[in-house]
């Protein structure tokens, strides 16, 4: 199952039936601020989010003056994103911004379009081989030297090992916040470099959250990487035993 298929089948219902995030996470804010706030003309900085949902991250980046682009398989998420951006961020379309329904694995953008791409817990809903292909596609549409931000669930996270294992480390969870969302991939830090095809991983952080002492932890990897130049990307071998 590819990431876009799950979002179409599951998140369309989620976006229709319950409120979703309205504000970006601090990690997204720090990433964008660190790398792009000093740009002399922010309107020339093109940022793409795959799995943009109802647009909280797009809203933040557009408010800061960047050219924002989002893609999601759930039409309701795309509609809500555009409605909020039109209402609260005048001029975002004039900077070239666009949010559309589409497939993560076949992005409708030319090579080297974006200065950075963001995956905020979206590609985690694809098993290893499909996710690896998505990261390669994200690399394709990013400029050499451009940046990747990815938040993905870590091995040991609440939900892993519950329900049905659909593929290695890819569970249809029955417990925790990931229950009933289809398959979720749980990734080890040791596997990140092999997963992120076309990228040179610079930093892997770990975010651990627990709402009460009795609750298991929700654990996410925060991955930051730089787009490899073509000759290095072509030599990037797999070497992973889970394919």
Q: Which structural domains are found in the chain, ordered by start? A: 3-229 (3.40.50.150)
Give how far Cα 66 sits from Cα of 32, 33, 48, 61, 222, Å. 10, 11, 10, 6, 22
What pLDDT sits at residue 229? 77
Place of tokens 């400029």: 143
| Residue 3 CA to its chain's centroid (Å) | 10
- Contact assessment for residue 66 and residue 43, using Cβ atoms and an 8 Å cutoff: yes
**125 CB burial (10 A radius; 0-12, 13-18, 19+):** buried
Q: What are phi and psi of 57, to 5 degrees?
A: -75, -40
Report pTM.
0.89
The pLDDT averaged over each successive group of 10 residues in the chain (243 residues) is 48 64 92 98 98 96 98 93 97 98 94 98 95 97 98 97 96 94 95 97 96 92 91 44 35
What pLDDT sits at residue 214? 86
The residues that bridge with 218 in the sheet, in sequence order, are 209
């Amino acid at each position: 199952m590819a990431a876009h298929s799950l979002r179409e089948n599951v998140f369309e219902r989620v976006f229709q039936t319950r409120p979703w995030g309205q504000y970006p996470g601090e990690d997204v804010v720090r990433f964008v601020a660190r790398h792009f706030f000093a740009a002399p003309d922010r309107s020339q900085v093109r940022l793409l989010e795959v799995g943009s949902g109802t647009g909280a991250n797009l809203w933040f980046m557009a408010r800061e003056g960047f050219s924002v682009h989002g893609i999601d398989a759930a039409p309701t998420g795309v509609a809500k994103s555009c409605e909020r951006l039109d209402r609260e961020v005048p001029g975002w379309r004039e900077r070239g911004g666009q949010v559309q329904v589409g497939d993560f694995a076949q992005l409708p953008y030319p090579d080297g379009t974006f200065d950075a791409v963001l995956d905020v817990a979206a590609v985690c809903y694809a098993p290893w081989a499909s996710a690896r292909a998505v990261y390669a596609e994200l690399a394709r549409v990013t400029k050499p030297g451009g940046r990747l931000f990815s938040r993905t669930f870590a091995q040991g996270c609440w939900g892993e090992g519950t329900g049905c294992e659909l593929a290695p480390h890819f569970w249809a969870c029955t417990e925790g916040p990931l229950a009933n969302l289809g398959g979720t991939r749980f990734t080890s830090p040791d596997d990140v470099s092999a997963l992120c095809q076309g990228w040179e991983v610079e930093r892997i952080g770990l975010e651990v959250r627990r709402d009460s002492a009795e609750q298991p932890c929700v654990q996410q990897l925060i991955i930051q990487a730089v787009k490899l130049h073509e000759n290095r990307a072509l030599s990037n071998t797999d070497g992973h035993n889970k394919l």
